[in-house]
Amino acid sequence: MDLTTFLQALITGILMAGIYALVGIGLTLIFGVVRIVNFAHGEFVMLGMYITFWLWKLWGLDPYLALLVTMPVMFCFGVLVQRFLLQPILRAPDLAQIFMTVGLGVILSNAALLGFTADFRSVKIAYAEWVWRLGGVSVPVTRLFAFLGALLLAGLLTLFLRKTDMGKALRAVAQDREVSMLLGVNPERMYLLAVGLGAALAGAAGGLIVPFFYVFPTVGAIFGLIAFVVVILGTLGSVEGAMLAALIVGVAESLGILFAGADLGLVVVFAILVVALVFRPSGLMGAR
Amino acid sequence: MRAALTPERYVPAGTLLFLLVLPFLLPNPFYVHIVVMMFTFVILGGAWNILSGYAGQLSLGHAAFFGTGAYVSMLLVNHYGTSPWITLWIGGFAALLLSLPVGFICFRLQGPYFTIATIGLAETLRLLVLHFREITNGAQGLTVPFKGNSPWQMQFDSKLPYYYIALVLAIAVLWITRCMEGVRLGHYLVAIGQNQEAAEALGINSAQAKRRALALSAFLTGVGGVFYAQYTYVIHPDSAFGLGHSIQIAMVAIMGGVGTVLGPALGAIIMEFFIQSTQIVFAGQYPGLELMVYGGLLVAVILWRPRGVFPWFDRLYRGLIARLPSPGRAA
Amino acid sequence: MTDNVVLTVEGLSKHFGGVQAVRDLSFQVRAGEILGVIGPNGSGKTTMFHLITGFHRPDHGTVTFLGLDITGLPSHEVCARGLCRTFQVARPFPDITVHRNVLMGALLRHPDPAEAALRAGQVIRRVGLEAHTETPAGSLTTIDQRRLEVARALATEPKLVLLDETMAGLNATEVGEAIKLIATLRDQGLTVVVVEHVMRAVMSLSDRIVVLDQGTKIAEGKPQEIAEDPRVIQAYLGKEYRRA
């Protein structure tokens, strides 16, 4: 195995890490603010993928342009989920919180199966085959766009969280609900915002990968699991941690596929998670 | 001295008697199959309940134990002709062995972290089983060739023997749960589920208690897997080790009532009844509908009856007991 | 004097992040006494409890209980050896009854649940909670939850019990009852270490007092000596004692 092959895998891993980061950030945002682990987060990605696909299929809308529709739609969806499903169980025991989103995930993936059939879908766009060659390494343009798109959105979110009043309010609620209330922040509104944003980011991630990833009802499962690894490795609630962890996971998966085989990429990822949990249970960013 | 003939005694006895003769009352073997599936859910859901219901350590990886039991059994039966009566124990034990590293890794974690870790481990096992296809036959799964009526190989022409095996296993799981409730471990698990730190402050070794509960839970789940493999003659990695299966196992106890002895039994009845009615009504025309309504049921239970149906059943049962005649009770 | 000592804390230190919560703390607890531990907020009292009972590992120092080194042992082992604690914020097992809560403690020495149930009943009577035996612990009032904390700890039949701010937020009558209960425990042979802010209680109950400030011991002695110790007065600026 030569250097080029290795670099190819490395680059693929890094590019994919952008998407993993986007999905992970959404999940960690929801947990950080609302304190609920969203077991349906993978299905949020799946929804984003299907919305993007159907917009293309029915109206020929370019997947990247479709983000302008996908994201607001997913945002509203997230808000509805928070309002009707999560709000009632905010103070319920673990069992209720975990299985509520587990149940939601089951509903969503099977609704997709019911509505769209199990067929694997893909979009056909002009630039799907374009490849950027860098030395011996070939970078499909769609993957590059996905990465750049993810980076852009992650950057915008970080700006939002740091610089805007609403973003700061969101962080305040994540840090300390009671104190933020004393400062005049309405936690319920922030919960809606957090889940809406988390869903929008997941949906965006889905939309960004449609040009090179098959769309099918259970595609969410993979992303859900990877999101968990990213978020736990990066410490639940930490956006920066999620980004760093996503990089590790993306590269590890890619190298794992290279060295261990295509079907064991995820196993490598889990192995990393296990090792991390055994030695540093609170994740890369330390105890909350 | 004769035992008192009180409703508390004769109602359960009557129920048992009813279950024993039920196969002869059912119109055709398909209905017997439905009840066998119910019993299977009782076994799996009841086993899950021991750890996750009582101690609140919510596992979504129990399919790993189920699959381990099933695969170990099938491999032994196919390669060495071992009798499934023996592999019941070996499969269960294999699952128990698996539970040791699982517990070691996962019990360091609390709440949703724990759940995620169990999902990850079950998924890893599934991928590994798919990968090593020389041993496991990969995605095609394993089958046991049907050898006709051979009791030593746990293969029968009719469904009846399976029915009674499943009944015995189901009762065993419920009875083990009841015994566990009455000894120290049972109480300790509840304490851990309520507040692990406070439990530790009272001298409860929570790591040890959880390991024991997990070992028992894994063993029984593995046994359930062996039985199921023998009953259906075929096992696939995706259905055996899949997350969907783990969710199903968990739902049995959640719907019925976690942390109670009869909860899994109630949940199994509801679950199977529900699966069958959707299949009958929609005749497989709408793939995904059944599971979708399933998920809806789970969400509904969480929103309105997080303790499952057990409290309602309990009230009903007590009301019934109070109203029934009690010829043996001292005045 | 040393054969009378049940607990020895020597050179205990612990830091969290950049904060030194406990610094070179040393003191002894004698059999059958009530030792009061006081100090301004943030002086490390609760951390000290955590270190002694195994909730955190100390960075340095040792804890010796009944002649055995228990430094760094996990909390369930510490309790099993006879050193039990209550929590500042009560942690009942909310969904189960008071009786079953206390049962959990009694099971330590009486593995048979039937036997443990009897003992639990006795302890419940001792602390005055019989009226609520079948009440779910989550619906108790604050003072009853405190009683429950004490009852659970007592059910483990400890030789030494650490009470962490049991009287915070109680009114005058309730404080009086708590004082009586703790004194009774001592009379029955238990050694008690009490962390408190309620000065009146600490002063009247304690045989001796240890004063902490910024993680270390600044004074030790009889209540009267402590009340007059200028270092103590300075640490508190005298406010707390005069208020009580």
The domain of A156 spans 7-116+143-279
pLDDT in tens, B92-137: 999 999 999 999 888 888 888 899 889 988 999 999 999 888 888 8
B316 interfaces chain A, CB cutoff of 8 Å: no
Alpha carbons C185 and C192: distance in angstroms, whole number = 8
Which residues partner with C210 through β-bridges? C37, C220
pLDDT in tens, B321-330: 888 887 766 5
Asked whether residue A288 carries a pLDDT value surpassing 50, the answer given is: no
Contact B8, B317 (CB under 8 A): no
Q: How close, in Å, is residue B256 to chain A by CA atoms? A: 14
In a domain, A222, yes or no: yes
pTM: 0.90
- Specify the amino acid at residue C134: E
CB pairs A-B closer than 8 Å: 130
Asked whether residue B274 carries a pLDDT value surpassing 60, the answer given is: yes
Beta strand pairing status for B234-235 and C5-16? unpaired
pLDDT of residue C110: 94
- A48: domain CATH number is 1.10.3470
In a domain, A87, yes or no: yes
Contact B141, B75 (CB under 8 A): no
Q: At what angle do helices A219-233 and A239-260 cross, to 10 degrees?
A: 120
Chains contacting C (3+ CB pairs below 8 angstroms): B
- Chain A contacts in chain B segment 120-159 (CB below 8 A): 120-121, 123-124, 127-128, 130-131
CA atoms within a 13 Å half-sphere pointing along the CA-CB vector of C77: 13
In a domain, B330, yes or no: no
In a domain, B101, yes or no: yes
Q: Report H helices in B183-262.
A: 184-194, 196-201, 206-232, 237-241, 243-256
For residues A136-141, average pLDDT: 86
pLDDT of residue B192: 95
Pick from B111, B286, B306: which is nearest to A92 by CB?
B306
Which residues partner with C206 through β-bridges? none
What are the distances in angstroms from CA B189 to CA A5, A93, B114? 52, 16, 16
A131: pLDDT confidence band, cut at 50, 70 and 90? confident
Backbone angles phi, psi at C136, to 5 degrees: -60, 135
- B75: domain CATH number is 1.10.3470
In a domain, A173, yes or no: yes
In terms of Cα–Cα distance, which of B93, B63, B61, B59 is closest to B76?
A: B93
Higher pLDDT, A1 or B292: B292
- Positions in chain C short of pLDDT 50: 1, 242, 244
Pick from C55, C80, C113: which is nearest to B203 by CB?
C80
CB contact under 8 A, C87 and B187: no
pLDDT in tens, A230-267: 998 888 788 889 999 999 999 999 998 888 888 888 88
CB contact under 8 A, C91 and B190: no
Q: Where is average pLDDT lowest: A42-46, B283-287, B298-302?
A: B283-287
Percentage of chain A exceeding pLDDT 70: 99
The domain of B63 spans 7-323
Higher pLDDT, B146 or A146: A146
Q: What token pair was written down for B38?
A: 């119910």
- Identify the three-state secondary structure at position A203: helix
Nearest CA in chain B to C102: B202
DSSP B129-181: HHH-HHHH-GGG-EE----SSBGGGTB-SSSHHHHHHHHHHHHHHHHHHHHHH
Asked whether residue A269 carries a pLDDT value surpassing 70, the answer given is: yes
CB contact under 8 A, B254 and A118: no
Report the length, in residues, of chain B. Answer: 331
CA atoms within a 13 Å half-sphere pointing along the CA-CB vector of B2: 8
In a domain, B47, yes or no: yes
CB pairs B-C closer than 8 Å: 73
Contact A255, A10 (CB under 8 A): yes
B117 interfaces chain A, CB cutoff of 8 Å: yes
Q: What is the mean pLDDT of chain B?
A: 90
Q: How many domains does chain A have?
A: 1
Residues of A in contact with B306 (CB under 8 A): 92-93, 95-96
For residues A18-28, average pLDDT: 95
Nearest CA in chain C to B200: C76
Q: How close, in Å, is residue B195 to chain A by CA atoms? A: 11
pLDDT of residue C1: 43
Burial C131-166 (b: 16+ CB within 10 A, else e): ebeebbbeebeebbbbbbbbbbbbbbbbbbbbbbbb
- Degrees, nearest 5: CA angle B301-B244-B67: 125
Pick from A95, A105, A117: which is nearest to B254 by CB?
A95
In a domain, B297, yes or no: yes
Q: How many domains does chain B have?
A: 1
In a domain, A133, yes or no: no
Pick from B56, B60, B292: which is nearest to A114 by CB?
B292
Asked whether residue A146 carries a pLDDT value surpassing 50, the answer given is: yes
Q: Where are the domains of chain C?
A: 2-82+158-243, 91-157
CB contact under 8 A, C91 and B204: no
pLDDT in tens, C67-110: 899 998 999 999 999 999 998 888 999 999 999 999 999 999 99
pLDDT in tens, A153-178: 999 999 999 999 889 989 888 888 77
CATH number, domain C2-82+158-243: 3.40.50.300
